[in-house]
Amino acid sequence: MIYLDSAATTLKKPPEVGQAILDALQTAGNPGRGAHEPTLHASRIVYDTREMLAKFFHAESPACIAFASNATQALNTAINGLIGHGDHVITTVCEHNSVLRPLYRLQKQGAEISFVGVDANGVLCYEQFKQLLRPNTKAIIVTGASNVTGNQTDLAFVSTFVKKHGLLFIVDAAQTAGAKPIDVQSLGVDVLCFTGHKALLGPQGTGGLYVRPGLAVVPLVVGGSGIHSFDETHPTEMPTALEAGTLNVPGLAGLGAGVRWILQQGVETLEAREAALARQFYEIVRDIPGVQCYGDFNAPRVPIVSLNLAGEDSARAADMLWEDYGICVRAGAHCAPLMHKALGTVEQGIVRFSFSHTNTEEEVRTAAQAVRALAEE
């Protein structure tokens, strides 16, 4: 089997990740719910992971990191907790449904949405940010990189625009957290939402959000907090404000192990390895007759190469890659409907190859040869 679906979830994790999960399952109690060793141990696990993520994202303090079950929950928390009736949001056609659907629901409640479009290569038309600005614009919400094309968003440009106009800056880092260096302070990010099971190398069911100090996000969920139990309202101090209920301690132990491993290896080192593999694949398949690649391959990007075979449904192509060659890829809409409308691939979908540092050059060559064979059928 050749696994080329790491943009969906990374399959091969460092051994330390699984071991950390197993250890926590056998030793960790409920964090913040007692003074005995198992619960104190659980609290240390949670804090250590929080501290490592704060270091990873260059956050002001560990208290800026609140945990969630995935990036979708984190985005719902941020969007519903900061946007309300009468507020205008500028977002893009590159966004995942984790951004779009919360915004559409808020639109029915009186919020307003505008979308920055893309060119033929799926690159954002950055001049449209200024054109879409309104007196009631409150926030810019952008993905760090498209999960369809792999194009990276110019967050420095968006940051400058946000600062100039006094807007909130919310980033969906599902595809970039762990794959790219991220400095929330230098970028002036207000909220960064991330998942743990992709490039951060943690298990599924983990994720969270960075929240700038001083920014109050109305919690999506309230309830058990372990503190202030006689108060009728949920605590407002971060990170407790956004962490109602028992956290996924074994999952966070695994996430912490994944982040620690990345910090030891160096995110730039892993990034260069993945970029080289994706480039190697692209350089082969781009010249195959009948193959169309999507995205801008002359600009910063994440290790994704998306393509179609002329006249072939993407799902059928993905099935043949698996059934005939044992290659795992993602096909279809990728939960990003507006990008497919922009690219004209609503009916066909797109076949996405996404790479990890664990892949090999031989696997890349084999996958490219499989694409060639399918294109020649």
* HSE of 224, CA atoms in CB hemisphere, 13 A: 8
* H or E, element range at 102: helix 97-107
Average pLDDT over residues 177-188: 98
Domains of the chain (ranges, CATH numbers): 2-10+266-376 (3.90.1150.10), 15-265 (3.40.640.10)
Alpha-carbon gap, residue 343 to 174, rounded angstroms: 21
pLDDT greater than 70 at residue 219: yes
* Structure confidence by residue, pLDDT tens digits, 340-353: 999 999 999 999 99
pLDDT greater than 70 at residue 119: yes
H and E: helices and strands count for the chain: 12, 13
Contact 203, 254 (CB under 8 A): yes
Give the confidence band of 127 by pLDDT, cuts at 50, 70, 90. Answer: very high
- Rounded to the nearest 10 degrees, what angle do helices 37-57 and 249-265 cross at? 40
pLDDT greater than 70 at residue 225: no
What's residue 230's pLDDT? 74
Please count the other Cβ atoms lying within 10 Å of the Cβ belonging to residue 223: 8
Alpha-carbon gap, residue 74 to 288, rounded angstroms: 40
Give the confidence band of 233 by pLDDT, cuts at 50, 70, 90. Answer: confident
User: How far, in Å, are 178, 182, 271 from residue 165 at the CA level?
Assistant: 30, 23, 33
